[in-house]
Amino acid sequence: MIKFILIVKICSLMYMDCMHEFNSNVVFNNYYECVTAGHIRSVTTLNNMGEDFVNRAKIVIKFSCEESTGS
């Protein structure tokens, strides 16, 4: 069975800079679980950063679900 890892990248459009992308260290059993976790993680991250900071820095979050090479 194919498993997936969530890869997340956070960028600021204001500063034209991105953090290094990182993975969640969680292996998901299927694509649906991974992509759902990506959306939840994005919203949680934006909430933690706060509305003011997100607005000022114009934060965007990109994520992808990549097939895991491990078991």
Predicted pLDDT of residue 71: 55
Instruction: Sketch the domain layout of the chain as residue ranges.
Output: 1-10+34-71
Blockwise average pLDDT, block size 10, the chain, 71 residues: 95 95 92 97 97 98 91 55
pLDDT at 6: 97
What is the structure's pLDDT at 1?
86
Exposed e or buried b per residue across 16-33, where buried means at least 16 C-beta atoms within 10 angstroms of its C-beta: eeeeeeeebeeebeeeeb
Q: State whether residue 54 is helix, strand or coil.
A: helix
Q: What pLDDT is stored for residue 70 in this prediction?
A: 65
